[in-house]
Amino acid sequence: MRVGSADVRVPSVSHPQLIARGAILSILIAIAASAGGGAEKPAVAPELVGGISSAAVFDDHGFFDAARGCFTQYPFSKFQAGADERQKSCLADYMKRHGATSQAIAFMRAAPVPAAIAAVRSYGAVAVVYAAMMWADGADGWAIVGKSGELVPLWVPPAVDDDPAYREFLRQHPDVLLWSDAIGWPRAASAAGGEQLAFEFSLKVCHACAKLGAATVVYDFDRDGRYQGARLRRIVAQPATP
């Protein structure tokens, strides 16, 4: 897969335990869709305070095999609620042994599925991260990291339910959701008080469903890289096929 100007390898996903784990994406989307408007408060990772650098890229051929091994060693069926932390600690140990930085490991721990940073691009007080990720129905993901240490995951769609344009689109297309499968490097603008990044989300009812349109969402950050919220800029309906 080509990302920006770099070729990035993404994993094939076939391990049976990843089906349930990958379903987390659909759950996250459903939760975000029902959360309503307002600025979501992102998590802060101490390792990311000051900003993330390209040194956090972790290009390791064995990463996803190691993740599968950690799943096998610490299965949910045996460890229940404690499985996730054991799996992530297991994978963090592997990453340390193979030269990963503390930022690469912090990003992996913050993600809901195994994630290896593949590319980082800076936009002033924030940076956009592209990662190879072990979803059941996908192999990558995007996030924004501010110099504040806040990590805003784009695999969780923003809450735009209060926007009139979105509500009208939803009236015409019940059950439509924002999906991050069409995201690429953003259009950026430096505002007087910070940074603005615009991303395009697909509008679909399900992951495999036909695309009904596209939503451009702007993420706002202040000059220190603190997240200020997301807002819908526009919606464009997909032209009907004859």
| Domain coordinates in residue numbering, the chain | 2-237
d(CA 44, CA 170): 32
Q: pLDDT tens for residues 109-167?
A: 999 999 999 999 999 999 999 999 999 888 999 999 999 999 999 999 899 999 999 99
pTM of the complete model beyond 0.85: no
Q: Say if residues 57 and 119 touch (Cβ distance below 8 Å).
A: yes
Chain mean pLDDT for the chain:
85
Q: Say if residues 112 and 133 touch (Cβ distance below 8 Å).
A: no
d(CA 219, CA 197): 5
Q: Say if residues 200 and 171 touch (Cβ distance below 8 Å).
A: no
Q: Say if residues 126 and 197 touch (Cβ distance below 8 Å).
A: yes
- pLDDT band at 193; cut points 50, 70, 90: confident
Q: Say if residues 70 and 91 touch (Cβ distance below 8 Å).
A: yes
Scanning the structure block, which residue is given the tokens 């691009």?
121
pLDDT for the residue numbered 25 = 46
221 forms bridges with which residues in the sheet?
195, 227
Is pLDDT above 60 for 21?
Answer: no
d(CA 61, CA 176): 37
203 forms bridges with which residues in the sheet?
178, 213
pLDDT for the residue numbered 225 = 95
Is pLDDT above 90 for 239?
Answer: no
110 forms bridges with which residues in the sheet?
none
120: its two tokens: 């980082």
3-state secondary structure of 19: helix
Is pLDDT above 80 for 230?
Answer: yes
